Each structure stands twice: as structure tokens, then as C-alpha cells.
Structure 1
Amino acid sequence: MTTPPAADITELIDVIQPRLRDRDLTAIGDAVGAVSTDQMTALLDRLPVKQRAVVYRLLPKEKAIDVFERLAPRSQGDLVLGLQDAEVVSIFSDLDPDDRVRLVDELPAALATRLLRGLRTKDRELTAELLGYPSGSVGRRMTPEYVSVRADHTVEESMRRVRAGLEQAETVYTLPVLDEKRRVVGVVGLRDLLSADPGAHVSEIMGRTETATAYDDAEAAARECTGLGVLALPIVDNESRLVGMLTIDDAVRVLEGEETEDSARQGGVEPLRRPYLATPLRALFSSRVVWLLVLAVGATLTVQVLSIFEETLEQVTVLAWFVPLLIGTGGNTGNQAATTVTRALALNDIGPHDVGRVLVRELCVGIALGSLLGALGGVITAVIYEPAIGVVIGVTLLAVCAMAATIGGIMPIVARVLRVDPAVFSNPFITTFVDASGLVVYFLIARAVLQI
């Protein structure tokens, strides 16, 4: 989805807001009638919750469904709570099963149960099947509406099967090929079927494929799908039988959500899960306050270190001037290492078994960085102050960079072993830890060099 320019959306809001206040529904309907789906989605994201439902009701049904599917799950939940039961049931029944599951996760349990009861039997069974998989698994993000073909069938038979399933299937461009026990033995593209001899067997034109199990982590499966460059990835059960397909658009959506979550937590906030302007102020407050309290408590470690070495600072006051430089450099070095390793973990470039190799590599990088920064910092400090202070600063930069890079590199791996999101252990906590430990190293070096 392309995001319309903010100026265009602001103009729409300026047109609609006065009509909302006047309750001029006819004028609002005329205003939104010519608005594109992308513009309408962006408009709803920026309207207050109460006004959002009023504007949404004025959309034609087909456009309303398209707009609803493009909204973030949390925004969908907000909109559903503002609509009447009949409207909600109509929207809910028109969604694909995997989209229903995403919405159910954002709704109060009582409302979700009521909506599920209102579905047709087949739709309810398909949705319940996906809800039976663990939260965060690819089973909740796959589509159970697909068309499969048999390896021992002819191309002509397979095309009849595809035509019969066009209305229900979410995608038919990549077709899983099954054996007599419904196990995936390959895939065949629709283009290949169309260009093949009608009498040829599917087994003659199919290609090999990777699969993921329904219980696999959704992010890992999504990265596999995008990494392979396929339009859809077959999802199987523990006995290798096909249960669904992860389409490329759903895979991209999963990765976008994970990237947003990781970026937020690396910055010390919880992800909003809805557009910024549609997020209530209390939600913005709650997304930040817990992290700030945790980091504030962690920062007391730095204060404690400074109080322990108070006498050292009193004897050589110039040491205090370099505290921001040293803790800032250490924090930045640790964050760089953590970000690099977290990304490598997400892409499956490394795993917990590589902890030793990562430690050595980050230690070497930290020493190289620390040597360069230490040499520059030491020379400049020696010229401005005195050689002994330059030695302290140079050696400390070397030690802090080596320590910070090593800690920043292995902390995400430790988080993965503990089954915690590596982003949680990333920038905020590493910065706090490196600040305190870096100061300890700094003052110990100062005492040794300056003999105080």
C-alpha cells in the first residue's frame, strides 16, 4: 500500500471535520466518495475513534471491506467497537480467515466470541482451526483457503481443479503439489500449467519447494518465504501434510510488524500497534513510562559508581569532564554491536551455537575501534592537559570499546537462548550496563596510572 502525502490527508480532514460537527452526512458521503482506498485508510487512521465509525459507515460495502483490510489490527479493533452489530457481522464474515484471526486478537473476548458464533459453519471452522495454533506461530498467519493439485494428475485435470477453486482460494499463482497422503512433494506455477501439454502429468513439470510447519515462528517462516523469493510458502503439520499457505503479502506484513516492534523496543518504548495520530495520549504514555522507570532505576548504578569514586574525582577533577565522552562512546559501541547481531539473528545468519565466534569477532572489532578512538583521544587530551591524563583516556577508550562491543554482541544471543525478544535486551539495557561498568573501568585505570 502506498501512503498518500500528509498534506492531501490534512486537506481531507479540513473538509470533513466541519461537516462532522454539523452532522451533514450527505456532504461527508460526497467528500469521501471520490477518495481512493489508500487515502481513505490514511484518513481513518488520523480521525478520532468516535468520528472514524461515522465516516466509515458512509462508504460503499465493497470499498469499506477493502479499506478495513488495510487498517492495522489495533485500528480495526477500535473501528469495530464503534460500529453497530449488523455492520460488524457483515465485515467480519467478508474477511479472509487469517485476517479474522488478526482481528480477534485485538477484540474483547466477549465480542470476539459473539462474532465467531455469527459466522457460517464453514467460515467458523476455518477460523477456529487457525485460532488453535499458538500465538506468534505461522499457523495463525497462513491461509487455509488454497488450491492444491496431485502429482499423479494430468495438467488438464489440475486446471479443472484450479478453475473450480478460484472463488475460494486466496492465491492460485503458486500451487502446492501433493501425493496420495496429502504430503507436499513440490509446487507448480500457474504459468507452467497454462503452458504445459494438457496430457502431461504434474510430476513432470513441478519444482521442489521448502515448507514450514504451522507451529514455526511466524517471523522465521516469513523470512524464509521472502528469502526464497516465492509467492507463497506451503505450511504443513508435524506429519508433513499440507494445512495452509503463507502468501508473500502476509509474509511482508509479518516482517513489517516485527521490524516496527524491534525498532520501538530498541528505542526504549513499547510498539503502538496503531498509527501515531490514532493512538490515544494514555496509550502513548503507557508505552513509554514503564521503560523510563526501568531505565531510571538502572541509571542509579551510574550514580552509585560515581559516589564510590568520589575521592578520586576530588583529587583529579579533570576526570569528571570526560565521563560523558566515555559512557557515550561505550553505549554507542554496544548499541552498534547489538543492532548488528540482532539483525543477523533475525535473518538466521547466526544462531546460539555461534556465540563463541560472535564473541571473538566483536572483541576484535571493539579492540580495533578502541585503538583508533583511544589513540586520537589520548593524543588530543595529552596536548590539552597532560600526558598522564591522555594515557588514562586512551586506555579507557580502548577498554570500554572492547567491553561494550563484546557485551552488545552476545546479549541478543543470550536473549534468544532465554526465549526473550533480543530487542528487549538491546540498546536501553546495554547502554545502562555499559555506562556503569565503563565508569568502573575508567576510575580503576585512572587510579593505576595517576597513582591516586
Structure 2
Amino acid sequence: MITYIDLPTNEDEETRLREYLEDVQPEDIAEYVSGLEDREEQIALIKFLEPEDAAIVFFELDDFSLVSDVLLSLPRWQAMAIATEIPNDDAADLLADMPDKARGRVLALFDDEARADIIELLGYEADTAGGLMTTEFVVVPAFVTAQKAIEMMRAFAPDAETIYYVYVIDGNSHLVGILSLRELIIAGPETAIADIMQTNVMSVNVQDDQEEIADLMTKYNFLAVPVVDDEEHIIGIITVDDIVDVIHEEATEDIYRMAGINESEDDEEPSVKGAYLARMPWLLITIFGELGSGIVLSGFQARLEQVVALAIFIPLLTGVAGNVGTQSSTVTVRGLAMGTLESGHALRIILRETTIGLALGVSVGLIVGGIGSFWQFPALGLAVGLTLVLNNLMASFMGTLVPLTFKRINVDPAVASAPFITTVVDITGLLNYTLIAAAILNI
């Protein structure tokens, strides 16, 4: 971790700074640069980095305008040297967030082949396989020998993002097989690639959603997965480092949506207007939903006047049930997002969560019912205890059913947020309390 760096004032200090920066991880440099408030100081520090380190720092920075400022302020030879070290998929990600004017000037720093690949990648939606893939990979024809394939890899591997997997194509560039680098190395020199490759290749289509790809790579522990077009031509690969970023993004998005917050608020300086517009609808849902709770309580007013002690337990009843509902909703949404739960198994999932809710309800019902019996009187304790059992059962049921229903109708289950679940559980919980208390207390 870097604590402080003085910018050099002479050649000896420049040399010492370059030597120091060579021993520091680029990710730590990026963190330090992000913390600097002076733009000129940020640019000056990056100028002392080796091109390969500067390329990593650029991708780690969240400030894409800083990237363009640095590249466009450097001597052209130095900017082009850095651009050469940036993988095409990373370059596309950087350029996608730049203003149009800066994007064109930065794009001109790449060589013709890289520029063509980057432009192609920019044409895909960011959250699809095409937007994630890199076009820098190694393929070998099925008809060549292992020795020839190794020679081909020696020639092309320096420009590839990864060589853990060797992808095999036929004469029409169709993906027909795959083998590991280990399998290629231990094969006899004259062995045909077609004889040692695996033909059951698992690939993704260029238009597949990034969340589906993340689920696939997580399930099978792939380091990379090939991307094909509609004709099964291999056009790129997606590496595990890109999927880690996707998993982080998707998890953050789901957490924010469950809380009724826009994921854009993850920015360092989120827009006040944007945050207001994102949060206000959920508050309106809560307001009108809780007005339903007020209507239930108003119908319960006469009974409350007869037994004032009933009101003591209302916050506890709604709070506990709301918490149980949120827990079930969170577990279900996460399971659906990670692919560990299937909406087709809805009955099993609902049964599991309601069983847990029932067990929790009986436990807290016995505890609170006992307290209510000694604190107030036994009939009230019984009413409260039974209500807790029923409320927790219904809360776990609703917290599971709502996300599963949304998933089935192709609506993001994360929108089954805590405010929504809590509001529904509050209304049904108070209604249960009203009916149970009226029956037991004869009011």
C-alpha cells in the first residue's frame, strides 16, 4: 500500500521513482492515484509507469475521463506503447464510457488490427457475451499435429489473453473441439489434434446475458469459455477475471434493488435527483401499503379501547414477521441469482422456507407468549403467541412466493424488495392479530 509519493524534481529522483514503482503492484498504484485530488499530479505520476503497468492501472481506475486525459497528454509514442499493452476487451470497456470526442482520439492510438477488434466489441451490448469477450485467443485446426499446434501457439500466444485452453476449429472456423495446454504438451509430436481433442465443447452465444454466463462458469469452474455466433463460428472467449467483475456487479445490483435503491448510487458522487427518483417510488409503495395497516387498525380500534394491552405487542408482531419475510426473500433472490435455486422447483423451495418460518414462529411464539402471559394475562399471551406462529409462517411463504412468481413471469425477482415484502406482511399480520385476539378475548 502506498502512503505518499513526492513527484521528482530532477533526473536522479525520476530514476528512483521509476525503480520504486516497478516494485509496487499496479492495483495499489491505481488506488493511490484515485485518491489524489489534483488532476495534474495524477497525470504526472502515471507518466513514470512502464507501459504494461500503466495499462493495468487504467483498467483499475473508475475515472475514465482521467484515462483519456493521461493518454492524450502523453507523447504519442508513449501513449501508443501503453495502448499496445491494453487487451482489446479492456480497451473496449474503457472507451465505452468515454465522451465521443475523446473516444475517437484515444481509439486512434491503437494499431489497425486492434482498432478493428475494439470497434467490433463496442458494437455489442455491455451485458452480453459479446460485450465481455476478448478477441485475443488461440485456435488451431483439427487436422494439424500436436507439434504443429505448439509451433502455432508459440507464434500467437504472446498476443492471447490466456492459453490455458486450446480451441480447435474445422476448415470453416466452426468450433469443433477443445483441449488443455497440458494435454497438448504431453501428446506425441505426430498425434493429430482431432485424436486428442474433446468434442463436447461448452460454449455461449454472443448474445447470451452476462448473468447466465456467470452462472455457467461458476457451476463448472471454467477459467474461460468460448463465444460463438449463430453459425457456431468461434469469435472470442470470456475469461474468469471478467466474470468475477460480472458477479460483483450483479450482486451489487440485486442488493440495491432489494433495498429500493438505484445501483447508480454506487458512484462516488451520486446524483441527488437520481437517488431521489429511484427511492421515492418505494417509499410511496410503503406509504400506501402501511395505510392499509392503518385501515386494519382503525377497524380494531374498539377492541383496542377495551384491551389497551393489545397495542403493546403490535410493533413486535410486525417487526418480527417483516424480518422473517425479508430473510426468506433474500435467500430466495440470491439463490435464483446464483443459479442454486430453480424456479421450476417452486413447491420444494416454498415448502422448505415455510417449514423454517413455522419453526421460527413456534419458537418466538412460545417465548413472547410466555412473556405476555406473565406480564399481562394468559389469554393475551396466547393470542400473541398464536399470531406470531401464523405471521411467521405467512411471512416466509410470501417472502419466497413473490420472488419465484416474478422470476416465472420474467420480472427481475430482486424487485421483490424489503419494502414491498414488509408492507404486505404488516397488513396480513395485523389482520391475523385482529381475528385471533377477537376470538380468544371475546371482544
Question: How high is the TM-score relative to the length of structure 1?
Answer: 0.84
**Alpha-carbon deviations, 1:103-122, whole Å to 9, x = none?**
23322344335544554332
Aligned partner of 2:351 in structure 1 is 360
Alpha-carbon distance in structure 2 between the residues aligned to 1:92 and 1:425: 44
Which structure 2 residues correspond to residues 36-435 of structure 1 after superposition, within 5 A? Answer: 36=24, 37-48=26-37, 50=39, 52-71=42-61, 75-80=62-67, 82-83=69-70, 85-87=72-74, 90=80, 91=82, 94-116=85-107, 119-207=110-198, 208-271=200-263, 279-280=268-269, 282-283=270-271, 285=272, 288-300=275-287, 301-306=289-294, 308-310=296-298, 311=301, 312-435=303-426
**Alpha-carbon deviations, 1:59-117, whole Å to 9, x = none?**
3433221211233xxx1414235436254964556422211222233223443355445
Shift of the alpha carbon at 1:418? 4.5
Contact 1:65 1:94 in 2 (8 A): yes
Contact 1:408 1:426 in 2 (8 A): no
Alpha-carbon distance in structure 2 between the residues aligned to 1:148 and 1:434: 56
Shift of the alpha carbon at 1:235? 1.4
Instruction: Read off the aligned partner of 1:339 and give its amino acid letter.
Output: T
Deviates more, 1:402-411 or 1:354-363: 354-363
Identify if the C-alpha distance between structure 1 residues 302 and 25 changes in structure 2 by more than 3 Å, giving closer, same or farther. farther
Shift of the alpha carbon at 1:198? 0.4
Alpha-carbon distance in structure 1 between the residues aligned to 2:293 and 2:314: 12
**Alpha-carbon deviations, 1:298-322, whole Å to 9, x = none?**
3322245235423144443323322
Alpha-carbon distance in structure 1 between the residues aligned to 2:424 and 2:138: 53
Alpha-carbon distance in structure 1 between the residues aligned to 2:410 and 2:399: 17
Contact 1:49 1:79 in 2 (8 A): no
Q: Please, which runs of 5 or more residues in structure 1 have no aligned partner?
A: none
Contact 1:28 1:55 in 2 (8 A): no
Alignment partner of 2:353: what SS? Answer: helix
Shift of the alpha carbon at 1:127? 1.7
Alpha-carbon distance in structure 1 between the residues aligned to 2:42 and 2:306: 64
Alpha-carbon distance in structure 2 between the residues aligned to 1:318 and 1:32: 74
Alpha-carbon distance in structure 2 between the residues aligned to 1:105 and 1:440: 52
Alpha-carbon distance in structure 1 between the residues aligned to 2:14 and 2:434: 67
Deviates more, 1:233-242 or 1:128-137: 128-137
Identify if the C-alpha distance between structure 1 residues 332 and 78 changes in structure 2 by more than 3 Å, giving closer, same or farther. farther
Q: How many residues align?
A: 429
Alpha-carbon distance in structure 1 between the residues aligned to 2:171 and 2:216: 27
Shift of the alpha carbon at 1:31? 6.0
Alpha-carbon distance in structure 2 between the residues aligned to 1:137 and 1:399: 44
Alpha-carbon distance in structure 1 between the residues aligned to 2:87 and 2:181: 22
Identify if the C-alpha distance between structure 1 residues 339 and 308 changes in structure 2 by more than 3 Å, giving closer, same or farther. closer
Contact 1:156 1:199 in 2 (8 A): yes
Alignment partner of 1:322: what SS? Answer: helix
| 1:450 and 2:438 correspond | no
Instruction: Read off the aligned partner of 2:361 and give its amino acid letter.
Output: G
Shift of the alpha carbon at 1:344? 1.9
Contact 1:151 1:201 in 2 (8 A): yes
Alpha-carbon distance in structure 2 between the residues aligned to 1:245 and 1:307: 58
Alpha-carbon distance in structure 1 between the residues aligned to 2:211 and 2:160: 23
**Alpha-carbon deviations, 1:280-301, whole Å to 9, x = none?**
2x44x56754454234323322
Alpha-carbon distance in structure 2 between the residues aligned to 1:223 and 1:28: 47
Identify if the C-alpha distance between structure 1 residues 92 and 400 changes in structure 2 by more than 3 Å, giving closer, same or farther. farther
Question: How high is the TM-score relative to the length of structure 2?
Answer: 0.85
Alignment partner of 2:414: what SS? Answer: coil
Alignment partner of 2:178: what SS? Answer: strand
Identify if the C-alpha distance between structure 1 residues 67 and 244 changes in structure 2 by more than 3 Å, giving closer, same or farther. same
RMSD, aligned CA: 3.0
Identify if the C-alpha distance between structure 1 residues 338 and 31 changes in structure 2 by more than 3 Å, giving closer, same or farther. farther
Shift of the alpha carbon at 1:214? 1.4
Alignment partner of 2:243: what SS? Answer: helix
Instruction: Read off the aligned partner of 2:32 and give its amino acid letter.
Output: L
